[in-house]
Amino acid sequence: MRIDIITVLPELLESPLSHSIIKRAKDKGLAEINFVNLRDFTTDKRRTVDDYQYGGDAGMVMMIEPVDKAISYLKSQRDYDEIIYTSPDGERFNQKIANELSLKGNIIILCGHYKGIDHRIREHLITREISIGDYVLTGGELAAAVITDSVVRLLPGAMSDNESALSDSFQDGLLAPPIYTRPADYKGWKVPEILLSGNDAAIDKWQFEQSLERTKLLRPELL
Ligand code: ADE
C-alpha cells in the first residue's frame, strides 16, 4: 500500500510514522509512506499556499492551485483509490474505516491548515473527508498521522502473531478485555486466578465476558 500525504509541515509527520510497527511495515515493503510538500507546487518566490477569504471573514484559506497541482502530479504517477481530506467536519474516523482503508492500494491524504481549504477542492478533488474527533486541531497532520498509523498496522505482516489486530479493541465491535503481566501478585493486587489456570477454553470464555462487560459499562452504544 502507498500513502501520499500532502502537507505544509512534513516535519510534523516524520517522527510519528518512523517507529515500531509502522517502521517495520515500511522496512518490510508493506507500506510506502511519502510526504509531499505543498509548497513545492507554488510558483511565487515566497511559496505561498494561502490567501484571504472571499467575503471578508477572518482567517486564511488554502488556495486551490497548489493543491490541484500536487494532486495532479501524484495522479500522473499512479492511480489512487481514495483522496482524503482531514477535517473536523468529515465523517468520524473509527476502526471500521481503518479496516476499509487498509484494503486500498494507493491513497492520498491532504492535510488542511489555516481556516480551511478552498471549497472547490472538496467539491472537485477530494473523494472522502475524515475527522478524528469533535475538536479542532491546528492542522490536519496529526489527524493524517492517526489515520496512517491505524491503517498501516492492519496490513498483513505488519504485526507479529502476538501483536495481532484480532485482539484489538473495536476489531470485533467490543472493547478489549483487561490484560496483565508479571508479577501475579503486586502489593496484594492479584491477577485474576483464571489467567493463571492454563485452561485456554476457560480463559477465552472469561476474556469474552470481560469484553462484553467493559463494553456495556464504558461504551454501551457499541453493542
Ligand atoms: N483538522 C483539524 N481538526 C481536525 C480533526 N478533528 N480531525 C481531522 N482533521 C482535523
pLDDT tens across the length of the chain (223 residues): 999 999 999 999 999 999 999 999 999 999 999 999 999 999 999 999 999 999 989 999 999 999 999 999 999 999 999 999 999 999 999 999 999 999 999 999 999 987 899 999 999 999 999 999 999 999 999 999 999 999 999 999 999 876 777 778 887 889 999 999 999 999 999 999 999 999 999 999 999 999 999 999 999 999 9
Distance CA 96, CA 81 (A): 17
Whether 161 is covered by a domain: the verdict is: no
Q: The C-alpha cell of 156 is what?
A: 498483513
> Residue 118 has what pLDDT?
97
Give the three-state DSSP class for 211.
helix
Task: Give yes or no for residue 70 CB within 6 A of ligand 1.
Answer: no
Number of domains observed in the structure of the chain:
2
Are 217 and 133 in a shared domain? no
Strand duo 185-186 + 189-190: pairing: antiparallel
Domain boundary residue among 118, 152, 186?
152
| Interval between CA 32 and ligand 1 midpoint (Å) | 23
Rounded to two decimals, what is the model's pTM?
0.94
Distance CA 179, CA 214 (A): 13
| Interval between CA 46 and ligand 1 midpoint (Å) | 26
Distance CA 196, CA 199 (A): 8
Give the three-state DSSP class for 193.
helix
> Residue 137 has what pLDDT?
96
What is the extent of the structural domain holding 193? 169-222
> Residue 162 has what pLDDT?
66
**Nearest by Cα to 9 from 31, 33, 39:** 39
User: Residue with the nearest Cα to atom 5 of ligand 1?
Assistant: 88
Is the preceding peptide bond at 183 cis, omega within 30 degrees of 0? yes
Give the three-state DSSP class for 53.
coil
Are 40 and 119 in a shared domain? yes
Contact 92, 133 (CB under 8 A): yes
User: Residue with the nearest Cα to atom 2 of ligand 1?
Assistant: 137
Whether 163 is covered by a domain: the verdict is: no
**Nearest by Cα to 97 from 75, 66, 129, 124:** 129
Task: Give yes or no for residue 150 CB within 6 A of ligand 1.
Answer: no
Are 47 and 97 in a shared domain? yes
Q: The dihedral of CA 199, 202, 205, 206: what is its sign?
A: negative
Are 98 and 56 in a shared domain? yes
Give the three-state DSSP class for 92.
strand
Task: Give yes or no for residue 140 CB within 6 A of ligand 1.
Answer: yes
End-to-end distance of the chain based on CA atoms, in angstroms? 32
Task: Give yes or no for residue 133 CB within 6 A of ligand 1.
Answer: yes
> Residue 1 has what pLDDT?
98
Whether 27 is covered by a domain: the verdict is: yes
> Residue 127 has what pLDDT?
98
Helix (H) or strand (E) holding 24: helix 20-27
